[in-house]
Structure formats: structure tokens, C-alpha cells
């Protein structure tokens, strides 16, 4: 069996991955807060962990991997939208409007991530469905002396776990207090203590609890849901490296204190962040855009995926238009090479080996480039392991439905009559229209050829004549 090597943030080393049970390899990834469309940076962990999910399924069998990714649907921004809608005259209780907003954004999210070729995880729990489990875990943490109630809040007592807290991100509690922007509140015993439960006003969604009507803090949801769905010990926990502290430290503290005999997550994987044209993506820089924006602009989801895969997940990735154009040209070429061909029975060993080396997706793409030189069946099998060249994702590159030879004949005829009449206006008009549709126009004495180039859009050929 293939040995997968993964860089474990917890041990700071690349290790052979050995699952707790090869019959059920378990992975948890922190999912989105569903208050709006996912921006391009949100998509990076989705693609990274989708590749890992596909690799695990390839090695252990698709029935032997359980992938859980949550939806955070308890959030002040979701609530703010729901409240604004209610004040604007929308019908329904606040809870219903909150749910409506979450349903809407979850629908967008699944559509946009699907366009990037991401498989849906086996389980996609929503925080609001696990409130009872969170309350039970918080009660247990209080009973074990790791948490305390104060003024309607429940806080995790960091001092009760002081020697371990910060181990993942490599900080001590004292360093964190010195360096962090911690919320100082009179009811906290230690400024680093974090919220497990907080009170809700009437204008906020809330649930009854032993500490009054309130709602859970963010961190506790992942501990409660991963325990319910994967148990007290599981194999892989993933997320963006912006989640390492405090979110993942807090998840570890909660889970290890609630289930001291469990290991929680054995291997921690963190992806680096995404930039745009060399700059941090931000609304103030005007380079902020969503996956939906790109899809609307006609950038195919497959192209976005390809660009992502060119950079190793532990390196910052730079989204550029140039990369997107080059990716599109490569994919168009590969799709033409593999049209009508059956994929090889299994992915080429070199592709699997690259992926198994801590998800070296750039190395796997380099292998695909080699296979494109003469082995289309292996190219297709390898690309499909990476989630590329699937049938579902190919509509953008589909030129089979367009009869380009008819257009070439038309241009050829126009040229022939222009030779007689010396009026080349129709030839120029057709050439301009074909170029605008993304076709390369090759005219020689032997004839006319139209070749789909970067950005080819068959729809633009409608009405040319
Ligand atoms: Zn989480």
C-alpha cells in the first residue's frame, strides 16, 4: 500500500501517515461561517483538503474515509443580516430568518465549491444542530474543573491546562497574554480564558441552558461535532493557518480536557494563505473578490482549481490573471488530447507518489505535463485523481457542439469573393468576430483554420452570420 507522508503541525515534522484504523480514516476540517459568499481565499483549504480526501480514498478505498466539514451558522453577521431583513419587513421570526440566511449562503457555498471540483464531505454538520451536545460538553468541562460560569458566560479556564495550552502554535500562555489582543473582562479569571457560552439578548438567537438563554462560542462547536461524528481520537484535523491560534489551540484544550483518554486529532495540517497579484486580498485594496465573481467573469472553476494546485499548500499562493490564462491554455490542450479517450485503469505511480509526498500537487502537475507528451490515457487518469478533466467540469471547453469548420468555410468563401471585388470589409468583420470569440485565425494559401484559444467562448459565435 502507498505510504502517505504528511507534515504534522503538532510535531513540526513530515511523518508517515498511519491511520488509527485503515477501515475508517477520519478527517475533520474547519468549515466556513456562512454569512456571505466565499471569497477566493476561503476556497484554498477546500481545494487542498479535497485533494487529500481524494488521495485517502484512492489509497484506502472510498468507503473507508470519513470527511467532516462543519458550517458555522451561529454568528453575529448572519444575525445582523436576519435582523436587517426583519426590520425591512421580511416575514418570520428572527430564528427563521437566521436559518433562511444560512440556507441561502450554504447553497451558494456548495455550488461555488462544486464548481471548483470539490467533492462534498461525508458529513456537513451545522452548529445549530449540535447545541445540546455543546451544552453537555460545557457541563462536563465545568464538572472536571476546566471551566467556570460567570455572569451568564461560561469560560474555559486556561490555567487548568496551562502546561499544554499553546503547544500546537508554539507559544506559552504568558507570551500569549503579552502579545495577544485579548478581551479583558471583569468576569475572567485569566485574560486568556475564552468563551464557551455567552448570553443572548432578545435581538439575538439563543437557546436555553443551565446558564440562562444564550449561545455557544465558536470554538466549542468543532470539539462537540468532531467528537459526535468522529470520536475522541481521529486521524487528521485541517484548516487554514490563520485558525491555528486561537481556534485550534482552543479546540485541543476543550477536547483533551473533556476526553482525557482520547488523542483528539493526531495529525494537524495547515494551509498557507492566498494573495492576489502579490498583495494580501483586502476590501480596502480593492482586490477582494469571491469565487462567484470569478465564475461570473467566465473564469472556469477548473481553471481556478488548476491555479491553486500549482502551489504547495504550505506556501503562500499568489492568484494572478496570467496564471489563470496559462492554466486555461493547458487545460484546453489536455482536454483536446483526452477527448473520447478512456482513462488508464489507475493513476500513474509517479502522480500518486508526488501527492503522497505531503500533497506535492505542483509535482503531480509536472508529471501530468510529462504524460501529456504521448500517454493521454494516463494523463486523464492522473488528472482525475487531482480532480481535473472530469466530465462535469468540462462544459467550458466543449467545442464539439460548435462546427468550427463551417465558420472556416465561411471565412474562406468571403476571402475568395474579396479577391475578386477587392472589398475586404466582410473578411475583416468575420476575423474580428472570431478573434473576439477567442479563436485563433490561421489563414494561408491552403485554406482557413480556426483554433480555440485562451478564453474561447462558443456563445459569442452566435449571430456572427
Ligand atoms: Zn474548528
For residue range 345-363, what is the model confidence (pLDDT) as tens digits?
999 999 999 999 999 999 9
Nearest-CA neighbor of 10 among 315, 238, 224, 274?
238
The residue with greater pLDDT, 402 or 192, is 192
The pLDDT, as a whole number, for residue 62 is 97
Task: Find the angle CA(26)-CA(27)-CA(29) to the nearest 5 degrees.
Answer: 160
Asked if pLDDT for residue 234 goes beyond 80, the answer is yes
Distance 244 CA to ligand 1 centre (A): 9
Distance 128 CA to ligand 1 centre (A): 14
pLDDT tens sequence across 259-278 = 999 999 999 999 999 999 99
Mean local confidence (pLDDT), 163-172: 90
Question: The C-alpha cell of 438 is what?
Answer: 477567442
Give 406's pLDDT tier (boundaries 50, 70, 90).
Answer: confident
What is the edge-to-edge ordering of all strands in the sheet holding 274-276? 279-280, 274-276, 317-319
Distance 208 CA to ligand 1 centre (A): 23
Asked if pLDDT for residue 459 goes beyond 80, the answer is no
Q: Which residues of 236-258 are buried (b: 16+ CB within 10 A; e: fewer)?
A: bbbbbbebbbbbbbbbbbbbbbb
Q: CB–CB of 65/57 below 8 Å? A: yes
Q: CB–CB of 409/430 below 8 Å? A: no
Q: CB–CB of 7/13 below 8 Å? A: yes
Mean local confidence (pLDDT), 186-210: 92
Give 460's pLDDT tier (boundaries 50, 70, 90).
Answer: confident
Give 463's pLDDT tier (boundaries 50, 70, 90).
Answer: confident
Give 171's pLDDT tier (boundaries 50, 70, 90).
Answer: confident
Distance 223 CA to ligand 1 centre (A): 7
Distance 222 CA to ligand 1 centre (A): 5
Q: CB–CB of 402/439 below 8 Å? A: no
Q: CB–CB of 451/440 below 8 Å? A: yes
Mean local confidence (pLDDT), 162-173: 89
pLDDT tens sequence across 6-61 = 999 999 999 999 999 999 999 999 999 998 999 999 999 999 999 999 999 999 99
Give 211's pLDDT tier (boundaries 50, 70, 90).
Answer: very high
Distance 203 CA to ligand 1 centre (A): 26
Task: Name the least confident of 103-117, 198-212, 328-342, 394-408.
Answer: 394-408
Greatest mean pLDDT range, 100-104, 133-137, 296-300: 133-137
Mean local confidence (pLDDT), 78-100: 91
The pLDDT, as a whole number, for residue 33 is 93
The pLDDT, as a whole number, for residue 399 is 64
Question: The C-alpha cell of 20 is what?
Answer: 488509527
Asked if pLDDT for residue 182 goes beyond 70, the answer is no
Question: The C-alpha cell of 205 is what?
Answer: 438567537
Mean local confidence (pLDDT), 51-76: 97
Residues across the chain: 465
Asked if pLDDT for residue 176 goes beyond 80, the answer is no
Mean local confidence (pLDDT), 114-123: 97
Cα–Cα distance list, 381 to 307, 311, 365, 413 (Å): 19, 21, 12, 42
Distance 29 CA to ligand 1 centre (A): 7
Task: Name the least confident of 231-245, 258-272, 447-461.
Answer: 447-461
Peptide bond into 246 cis (omega under 30): yes
- Which residues on adjacent β-strands are paired with residue 207? 214
Distance 251 CA to ligand 1 centre (A): 7
Query: Which single residue is written with the C-alpha cell 440562562?
Result: 212
The pLDDT, as a whole number, for residue 461 is 84
Nearest-CA neighbor of 348 among 384, 312, 313?
384
Model confidence, pTM: 0.88
- Taking a 5 Å cut-off on Cβ, the residues next to ion ligand 1 are 30, 222
Distance 50 CA to ligand 1 centre (A): 17
Mean local confidence (pLDDT), 158-173: 90
Cα–Cα dist 195/137, whole Å: 13
Distance 19 CA to ligand 1 centre (A): 21
Mean local confidence (pLDDT), 196-208: 92
Mean local confidence (pLDDT), 305-319: 98
The pLDDT, as a whole number, for residue 401 is 57
Task: Find the angle CA(209)-CA(212)-CA(216) to the nearest 5 degrees.
Answer: 60
Asked if pLDDT for residue 203 goes beyond 90, the answer is no
CA 87 to chain centre: 34
Amino acid at each position: 500500500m502507498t505510504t502517505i507522508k504528511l507534515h504534522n503541525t503538532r510535531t513540526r515534522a513530515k511523518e508517515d501517515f498511519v491511520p488509527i484504523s485503515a477501515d475508517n480514516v477520519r478527517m475533520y476540517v474547519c468549515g466556513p461561517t456562512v454569512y456571505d459568499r466565499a471569497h477566493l481565499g476561503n476556497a484554498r483549504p477546500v481545494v487542498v483538503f479535497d485533494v487529500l480526501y481524494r488521495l485517502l480514498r484512492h489509497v484506502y478505498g472510498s468507503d473507508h474515509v470519513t470527511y467532516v466539514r462543519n458550517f458555522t451558522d451561529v454568528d453575529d453577521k448572519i444575525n445582523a443580516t436576519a435582523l436587517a431583513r426583519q426590520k425591512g419587513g421580511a416575514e418570520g421570526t428572527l430564528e427563521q430568518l437566521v436559518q433562511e440566511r444560512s440556507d441561502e449562503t450554504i447553497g451558494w457555498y456548495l455550488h461555488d465549491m462544486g464548481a471548483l471540483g470539490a467533492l462534498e464531505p461525508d458529513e456537513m454538520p451545522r452548529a445549530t444542530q449540535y447545541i445540546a451536545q455543546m451544552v453537555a460538553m460545557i457541563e462536563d468541562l465545568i464538572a472536571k474543573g476546566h471551566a467556570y460560569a460567570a455572569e451568564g458566560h461560561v469560560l474555559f479556564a486556561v490555567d487548568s491546562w496551562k502546561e499544554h495550552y499553546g503547544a500546537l502554535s508554539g507559544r506559552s500562555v504568558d507570551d500569549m497574554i503579552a502579545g495577544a489582543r485579548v478581551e479583558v473582562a471583569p468576569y475572567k479569571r485569566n485574560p486568556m480564558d475564552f468563551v464557551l457560552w455567552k448570553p443572548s439578548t432578545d435581538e439575538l438567537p439563543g437557546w436555553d441552558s443551565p446558564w440562562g438563554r444564550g449561545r455557544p462560542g465558536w470554538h466549542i462547536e468543532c470539539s462537540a461535532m468532531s467528537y459526535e461524528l468522529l470520536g475522541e481520537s481521529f486521524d487528521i484535523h485541517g484548516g487554514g493557518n490563520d485558525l491555528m491560534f486561537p481556534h485550534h489551540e482552543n479546540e485541543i484544550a476543550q477536547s483533551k480536557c473533556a476526553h482525557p483518554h482520547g488523542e483528539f486529532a493526531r495529525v494537524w495540517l495547515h494551509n498557507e494563505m492566498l494573495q492576489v497579484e502579490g498583495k494580501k486580498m483586502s476590501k480596502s485594496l480593492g482586490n477582494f473578490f469571491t469565487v462567484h465573481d470569478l465564475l461570473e467573469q467566465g473564469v472556469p472553476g477548473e481553471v481556478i482549481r488548476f491555479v491553486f494546485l500549482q502551489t504547495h499548500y504550505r506556501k503562500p499562493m499568489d492568484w494572478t490573471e496570467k496564471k489563470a490564462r496559462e492554466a486555461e491554455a493547458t487545460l484546453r490542450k489536455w482536454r483536446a488530447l483526452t477527448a473520447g479517450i478512456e482513462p488508464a485503469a489507475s493513476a500513474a505511480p509517479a502522480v500518486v507518489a508526488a501527492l503522497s509526498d505531503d500533497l506535492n500537487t505542483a509535482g503531480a502537475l509536472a508529471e501530468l505535463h510529462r504524460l501529456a507528451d504521448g500517454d493521454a490515457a494516463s494523463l486523464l487518469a492522473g488528472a482525475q485523481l487531482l480532480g481535473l478533466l472530469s466530465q462535469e467540469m468540462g462544459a467550458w471547453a466543449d467545442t464539439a457542439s460548435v462546427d468550427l469548420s463551417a465558420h472556416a468555410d465561411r471565412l474562406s468563401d468571403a476571402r475568395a469573393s474579396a479577391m475578386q471585388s477587392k472589398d475586404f470589409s466582410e473578411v475583416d468583420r468575420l476575423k474580428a468576430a472570431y478573434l473576439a470569440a477567442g479563436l485563433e485565425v490561421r489563414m494561408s494559401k491552403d485554406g482557413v483554420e480556426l483554433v480555440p484559444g485562451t478564453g474561447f467562448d462558443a456563445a459569442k459565435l452566435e449571430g456572427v452570420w
